[in-house]
Structures are given as C-alpha cells and as structure tokens.
Amino acid sequence: MDPLKRLLKLIKDNDVEEIDFRFTDMDGKLNHMTYDVAIIDTDIMTEGLKIDGSSFRGWKAINESDMTLMPDPTTAQMDPFLSVSTLTILCNVFEPVTGERYNRDPRGIAEKAETYLRTTGIADKVNVGAEPEFFVFDDVKYQADPYNTGFKLDSAELRINGDKSYEGGNLGHRIQTEAGYMSTPPQDSGQEMRSEMSAHIRSMGVTVEKHHHEVAPAQHEISTNFNTLVRCADEMQIYKYCVRNVAELYGKTATFMPKPVIGVNGSGMHVHLSLWKGDKPIFAGDEYAGLSETCLFYIGGIFKHSKALCAFTNPSTNSYKRLVPGYEAPVSLAYSARNRSAACRIPSGSNPKEKRVEVRFPDPAANPYLAFAAIQMAGLDGILNKIDPGPAIDKDLYELPRCEKSKIPTVCGSLREAVESLDNDRAFLKAGGVFDDDLIDSYIKLKMEEITLLETTPHPVEFQMYYSA
C-alpha cells in the first residue's frame, strides 16, 4: 500500500487526534513535537515542519538555527502509551534553504551507508540485528552538585536487600551476583514486565524474538529480529521508548547506561551483521566456521578501525567502565565461533543464511544510526582492501597467559582514547560521502565536553581513597 494511503487509513481506523513527529539528534536521543491532526495536510507531509536546530547539542548555531523535519510516512505507528489517540512518525532532517539532507542527521548517515554499500557492488543489502541489555531499578537517586555528588540505586532483586523490611514481608527470592542469567520467577521478578514491554514493542511494528533475565540482578534483555540498517536503528529507538515507558507504568525506572553498578556485568548491545546480494548470503563460504573470505575481510576492517569505531559504538565515559575483562565484556580483538570472550563471535549454525558476524563490544548508549553505519563502513573498508583479521582464537581470552594476551590488540580503554582514534582514523568513514569532516569534528567536540566534565569532577571513590591521605 502507498505510504500516504496507509497513513490516512491509520488515522481513520484509529480515530487519531494527534500526530507525533519524532527525530533523533547527535546524542542518540529521541525528540518529538505533537500536532493536532486537524491541521495536518498534504503540505506538511511533503514540505515538512520547521524546528529550532540550535536547541540540540552539536547541531546549529543560533544565527542559522532553522531546520526542516521531513516525515517518513513508512514509519507511521500508533503510540501505545498515550491516552489521546496518537500516531507517531519518524522524520528526516533537512536544510530549509538548500532543501538538502542535513549532513549531521544521524538517520541520514545510516541511509547513506546503505546507499554506499550498493555502489560498491559488494552487496545489495546489509541485515542488522541488535541485542540491547538494560537495568530496571525501583529507585534511583543521584546528584552532581559541587558539594553533594553521588548516587544510590535500589531494586528488590539486589542482594543488599536480603534483610530489608517490606510491607507483606521479605520473600527472600533474590538474585546473587552473576547468577541471574535466564533465572525463572520468582527470582526473575521482571517476567511480566518484560512481556508487556515486548507486547508494546510489537504493537509498534517491531518483531520480537525472545526476552529473558540477564546475568546481573535487575538486568534484562529483549531480542528483536534483524532488519535493514536504517530500520534496525529505527527499531532500537522504538525499543528504548517502549522499555522506558513500560518500566514507568510499573513504578520502576529503566536505564541503558552501560555500567551503572560496580562489580556486576554491564549492559552491552551485541550487533549482528550479514551482507546479501539478491538472495545470496555472501558471508557464507568454506573458510573458518563456514565463513567466506569476504566475511573474514569484513572482520579485518572492524578490527583495523575498532578504536575509531568505539567513539560511536561505546560513546559514553561510562562505556569504558564496562569494557574491562572479567564481566563478559569482549575487549580483545579476536574472532571465534561461539567464544563469547572475543570481540567478534561467529554464531553457530549450518544454514548459509545464518552466517553473520556478531560484534560484541558496542553498548546501548550508542546512537544506533551512527554506530551501525560506522561498523558497516569499517567492514566494507576491510573487504575493499582485503584486510586479513588473522587466525581465529578459540581459547578463553580471559584465561590466556599474560604473554599470549599481550599480543592480542584490544578496544579502547577510555572515551578520550576513542575520540582521539576517531580524529586520526576517519578516512574509512568518509568513503562515498557517508560521514564528513564537519560531522566528525562536531561529534568529537561533543564528546570532549563530556570527557572534560568527568575528568574535572571529584569522584566519591577519590574521597574514600585520598581524603585522609
């Protein structure tokens, strides 16, 4: 069905009263504004809506702030949370004077990455699937004032609540550290909440595969099906929106912060990618684990540019509190079939259509449009330049002797290292005009502001270590 006809049908069938136009900024944050359906006409759908671009980090200066949102009618879905019947539409960002796509629009970057793939002749399509993990807490308190800095987290699942008094009694079913993976109720207290999250994600057009409790107390995962690069990024924004809002309905709070708790597993976002030419999976072949040489080169590109990639795939200062050995965070740049300690895992499966690369170091703080596009550009650079990833390593990388481990390169150890690597290794991103220097420089400036703030703020642990020194 024609997208505009489908849109009109959705409005009519659901007695829509308001239309919510949504777009993603450089930080990966979903923004919106809501219009009364009565004033929506064809002109708005074809000519767009005006916004103030200076209000968003890394976008426009105040003297050039006008920007245009162009709705993409193919993304229209009903919002399942609002009491007023509301239709949501994702938008692309354009320059109002030239009518061209805004070069810092993350969704536009993702679209250009898909277009560039086709121009290379390597493949017609990239399928992307992501697995974001998240924490759900009952209570979160934090403060970052000069004379009051700290945070406090609480969840009934946390072992610190073993002796806490609850109305109706403390029932004692509690998840111990690193013991929550796929636990069942009543230890898994989030079963019904995740089912409701999944139902709302499905209602907004995303195919949900499964959900389960994750390793840490209060940690969860919902897995969705693969899609094209742009649509998978769209779906990650829908996913986060639904998870946060259902948690709120349960009187809880969900976070995609990679490492909110010391001493337990952090939250990753494993990204699965495969290239297709027509109906042929070009990652299938007769090399290691049934992969093609093309797939191995793709991995080689990811490894070569991994430190620059980290600026997009692990874009927070908090990301690097997760990227440490010992909590399933894959810091070593190795690939392996089934081995979850490697940065790239080759999921098992004999069907050629299942052959894919799972990139395990990204986390859900990432802007999905920029992260997926950057990974894809690194992989394509590997194919075009035939970059050898070296031999596979099937050993547990955490248990390797120090002399062996020291020979394996790693991802970045800090956001500062990541943005400096991006500054020095950016040519692969600019191929085909996908990323440009203006966007990269602006992004680095944003990240350096975050780095400087953290590096100049005293930390509670510093008081513990040094106050009486």
Catalytic residue positions, numbered: 52, 131, 133, 214, 221, 270, 340, 358, 360
- Residues 19 and 82: beta-carbon distance below 8 Å: no
- Residues 395 and 338: beta-carbon distance below 8 Å: no
* Closest to 266 measured CA to CA, from 311, 324, 306: 324
Per-residue b/e over 136-161, b at no fewer than 16 CB within 10 Å?
Answer: bbbeeeeeeeeeeeeeebebbbbeeb
The CA distance from 5 to 141, in Å, is: 47
Between the alpha carbon of residue 441 and those of residues 59, 90, 271, 420, 431, the distances in Å are 12, 26, 25, 11, 16
Instruction: Check residue 101 and report its DSSP letter.
Output: B
- Residues 194 and 176: beta-carbon distance below 8 Å: no
| Residue 106, preceding peptide bond in cis (omega within 30° of 0) | no
β-pairing, 280-281 vs 269-277, is: antiparallel
SS3 126: strand
The CA distance from 387 to 297, in Å, is: 5
**How many CA atoms lie within 13 Å of 385's alpha carbon, on the beta-carbon side?**
16
Q: Which residues contact 366 (CB under 8 A, 6 or more apart)?
A: 28, 269, 312, 313, 314, 315
Instruction: Check residue 102 and report its DSSP letter.
Output: P
β-sheet bridge partners, residue 68: 50, 94
Q: Residue 89, Cβ neighbours under 10 Å: how many?
A: 22
The CA distance from 395 to 259, in Å, is: 26
How big is the chain, counted in residues? 469
The CA distance from 190 to 283, in Å, is: 37
Residue 432 Rama label (left phi>0; alpha psi -120 to 50; beta): left
